[in-house]
Amino acid sequence: MKKLLLLLLIIIIWYTNLVKAQPGKTSITKWQYDRTGAVSITWDDGSINQFKVALPILNRLQLKSTFFIITGQIPGSQYHGRFIGRPVKDIINETATVPTNKTNFYERASAAGYLGLIGPLDYHYQAGSLIDAGKPNEAYKVIDDCYSKVRKGEFKPGIQHNTEYTDAHGTTWADIKKYAAQGHEFASHMITHPRLAALDETNMLYELEKSRLDVLHHLGVRYTFSAEGPFGTENERVVAYASKIYPALRNRMPEPWLKEISRSNPATPGNTNKEYVQFQRGATTQTPLPVMKSWVDTTLNRKDTWLVLTHHGVDGIGWEALSHQELDEYFTYIKNHENKLWVASFGDVAKYMRERQSAKVQSIIKSGTVTVTISHPLNKTMYNLPLTLKTYLPANWKSAIITQGNTSKTTQVATDALGTYVLYQAYPNSIPVILISR
């Protein structure tokens, strides 16, 4: 009997040691600061109350967010809406004899907003939304209808802009620079807020590339990381072009390790074998605050979820405008869970996940010193976000002095089921991190 008990004791000790982590063992935590999930508050269109009303709320709560801005309407931008192609007169004349089809549709839909008439721009939007919905034949009919009216002289002459474009009036690059310095991300939402899926290659690339150039010129390369094609388009042709120009689109982020739930998809994160879930939700005026809060709760109750909130109007200006009272209460709710949620810009969360998924971490422990190196093969200009590392330490360490380059910090150890560990921030592709006992 005694022998049996002894054997059992040996097995227990052996097993306990087996499940303990080896000192030096280092991993990148799933989310920054070892939080449970991530939240990105994003804004489309740059309507003026986003800056006058919502931004001060975010600053008061010290939350950083992402603004997708329409660059063509900002004073001082080099690039403005235009049609690149044949003289529009030739296009109009041709519509009299050649019905709209697969070949000529994109040229006609691209030119519609630039005929010098009030009205055809609406047909551009309608046709684009039909392309987005996978109904090309209906889109061709809309364009036929538009040009038939053009030929009959049914539209008044004039310059027409869409509402998103005009609602954004009032912001300057100087203002935007100031907000960016406060820690917010700014990113392209194109020059004129077009239906990209209805544009031909030349005009689509003009919107994508030249909008990026104005952002680059006025804000710098860091702000050319993210972008959002208007109307949340998931059109494959658009995404193929846009993802060559911008590393991270809010529209689509095809990654083998990411489950995507777009804002038009009513699904909840559910079961998945993917490492991460991007859970996009866009509150409208019809969305009760408890529902908006439940998205945060869903994120809190999982470990793999990145909640991406898409906001538009504020206090009567912009699409589906929410009130400042509602936004204040909602953002305060998010802020109150910041100990568990990493609230960061769209670009920073995308960078964190990609850096973590591609990084290699190595650690060696030698005469009381742990040396950790972290590197990844991604573009080093864009992917330079520090990551949170978790290193297990010998059980007798009480705190650790953690040094990477010129930065040194003393951190208390913590314990979990696997042993004693420390959490710290480290820059990838830099010099090794040195941990010593204190």
Q: Which residues contact 261 (CB under 8 A, 6 or more apart)?
A: 267, 268, 269, 277, 278, 279, 280
Looking at the Cβ atoms of 45 and 315, the one nearer to Zn ion is: 45
Q: Is 320 left (phi over 0), alpha (psi -120 to 50) or beta?
A: left
Question: Which residue has the CB atom at the shortest distance from Zn ion?
Answer: 44
Looking at the Cβ atoms of 44 and 348, the one nearer to Zn ion is: 44
Which segments within 217-271 are labelled E, that is strand? 226-227, 248-249, 258-261
Looking at the Cβ atoms of 196 and 361, the one nearer to Zn ion is: 196
Q: DSSP alpha helices (H): ranges in 120-220?
A: 120-132, 136-151, 163-167, 173-181, 201-205, 211-219
Looking at the Cβ atoms of 210 and 259, the one nearer to Zn ion is: 210
Looking at the Cβ atoms of 63 and 168, the one nearer to Zn ion is: 168
Query: Site residues for Zn ion, window 140-159 (CB under 5 A)?
Result: none
> Could you tell me the smallest distance in angstroms from the CB atom of residue 59 to Zn ion?
23
Looking at the Cβ atoms of 34 and 122, the one nearer to Zn ion is: 122
Considering only CA atoms, which of 179, 167, 117, 103 is closest in space to residue 147?
117
> Could you tell me the smallest distance in angstroms from the CB atom of residue 232 to Zn ion?
8
Selected from 37, 230, 282, 347, the binder of Zn ion by CB under 5 A is 230
Element (H, E) at 331: helix 324-335
Looking at the Cβ atoms of 44 and 355, the one nearer to Zn ion is: 44
265 is written with which tokens?
């998809």
Check residue 275 and report its DSSP letter. Answer: S
Considering only CA atoms, which of 386, 378, 382, 380 is closest in space to residue 357?
378
> Could you tell me the smallest distance in angstroms from the CB atom of residue 305 to Zn ion?
24
Phi first, then psi: what are they for 400, rounded to 5°?
-130, 140
Which string of DSSP letters, residue by residue, matches 151-170? Answer: HTT-SEES----HHHHHTTT
The answer to whether 167 contacts Zn ion (rule: CB under 5 A) is: no
The answer to whether 45 contacts Zn ion (rule: CB under 5 A) is: yes
How many helices (H) and strands (E) the chain has is answered by: 15, 20
Selected from 43, 44, 120, 349, the binder of Zn ion by CB under 5 A is 44
> Could you tell me the smallest distance in angstroms from the CB atom of residue 193 to Zn ion?
6
> Could you tell me the smallest distance in angstroms from the CB atom of residue 84 to Zn ion?
22
Stretch that binds Zn ion, among 11-19, 227-235, 301-309, 349-357 (CB under 5 A): 227-235
> Could you tell me the smallest distance in angstroms from the CB atom of residue 434 to Zn ion?
47
Is residue 319 classed exposed, middle or buried when 0-12, 13-18 and 19+ CB atoms within 10 A define those classes?
middle
The answer to whether 304 contacts Zn ion (rule: CB under 5 A) is: no
Its sign, for the CA torsion 409, 413, 416, 418, is positive
Stretch that binds Zn ion, among 34-42, 230-238, 333-341, 397-405 (CB under 5 A): 230-238
Looking at the Cβ atoms of 314 and 385, the one nearer to Zn ion is: 314
> Could you tell me the smallest distance in angstroms from the CB atom of residue 230 to Zn ion?
4
> Could you tell me the smallest distance in angstroms from the CB atom of residue 106 to Zn ion?
21
Looking at the Cβ atoms of 259 and 312, the one nearer to Zn ion is: 312
Stretch that binds Zn ion, among 11-19, 43-51, 171-179, 399-407 (CB under 5 A): 43-51
**To the nearest 10°, the Cα dihedral for 171, 173, 177, 182?**
10
Q: Which residues bind Zn ion (CB under 5 A)?
A: 44-45, 230
